[in-house]
Chains A and B, each alone.
Chain A
Amino acid sequence: NAGVMQNPRHLVRRRGQEARLRCSPMKGHSHVYWYRQLPEEGLKFMVYLQKENIIDESGMPKERFSAEFPKEGPSILRIQQVVRGDSAAYFCASSPTDSPYNEQFFGPGTRLTVL
């Protein structure tokens, strides 16, 4: 039973380029969460999605960031026109239901470096 998968594990972009981060949830999980960890900080919630729906994007920056979880395929976190401050580790998590009393299972993360 594969866990949460994220790719790429490491991504280097120059300022102004686009970054696309992918997340495949655990088998049987239809709820996906994205978190960002800046250096020396804890994980900060960004967005919660179910298939084809964004449920809560209260943690997403208003500009340049978007997320989707299509009916088929992985969830995508997209960052347009990246800036140096976007350099961080981005973690995806999944859960089997929308109950807030379930643990979330995390992927290994994508480390984005913006030059």
Chain B
Amino acid sequence: DQQVKQNSPSLSVQEGRISILNCDYTNSMFDYFLWYKKYPAEGPTFLISISSIKDKNEDGRFTVFLNKSAKHLSLHIVPSQPGDSAVYFCAASGGGNQFYFGTGTSLTVIP
């Protein structure tokens, strides 16, 4: 039962353009959402989070948007850089201690 879904396994974007990674969830009790970035052979690294009381959170080149009615969130990276090439995981929490992760989207930024 996959409660957090990332339907695009991969995405390629030209350097300098915007990368948009999408995530959908099914559990309406989720109230905290995070994006993690993962390089090969390394653990996930926290990128940005958003609580359900907000619909947008921005940190430098990274912005996360939350649409609660659609149970959808997205991560925007602009401008995209080659160093952003990694696997991006969306995660959600419902007040418990476990995070529910999506299956990841592999982003390739083409120089």
* Chain A interface residues toward B at CB < 8 A: 4, 6, 31, 33, 35, 40-45, 48, 55-56, 58-59, 91, 93, 98, 100-101, 103-109
Assembled-state Cα–Cα distance A52/B20 (Å): 42
B56 to chain A, nearest CB (A): 17
Asked if B99 and A104 make an inter-chain contact with CB atoms under 8 angstroms apart, the answer reads yes
Q: Which of B38-46, B57-65, B68-76, B78-86 participates in binding chain A?
A: B38-46
Task: Count residues of chain B with CB under 8 A from any CB of chain A.
Answer: 28
Q: What is the chain B residue whose CB lies nearest that of A99?
A: B97
> Are B98 and A33 in touch, CB under 8 angstroms?
yes
Given the known interface contacts A42-B4, A55-B97, A108-B41, the answer about A101 and B51 at a Cβ–Cβ threshold of 8 Å is yes
B43 surroundings in chain A (CB, below 8 A): 4, 6, 91, 93, 106-109
Instruction: Report B's interface with A, CB cutoff 8 A.
Output: 2, 4, 6, 32, 34, 36, 41-46, 49, 51, 89, 91, 93-104
With contacts A91-B44, A100-B93, A108-B43 taken as known, whether A44 is within 8 angstroms of B32 at the C-beta atoms is no
A-B contact pairs, 13 of them (CB 8 A): A6-B43, A33-B98, A35-B101, A40-B103, A42-B4, A42-B101, A43-B44, A43-B91, A45-B99, A48-B97, A48-B98, A103-B34, A106-B45
- Chain A residues contacting B89 (CB-CB under 8 Å) are 42-43
Distance of A74 Cα from B46 Cα, bound (Å): 22
The smallest beta-carbon distance between A22 and chain B, in angstroms, is: 14
Cα–Cα distance between A106 and B47 once the two chains are bound (Å): 12
Question: Which residues of the other chain, B, contact A59 by a CB distance below 8 angstroms?
Answer: 98
A41 smallest CB distance to B (angstroms) = 6
Nearest CB of A to B46, in Å: 4
Name the residue of chain A whose CB is nearest to the CB of B91.
Answer: A43
Point out the residues of chain A lying under 8 angstroms from B91, CB to CB: 43
Distance in Å from the Cβ of B38 to the closest Cβ of chain A? 8
Separation of A32 and B101 alpha carbons in the complex (Å): 17
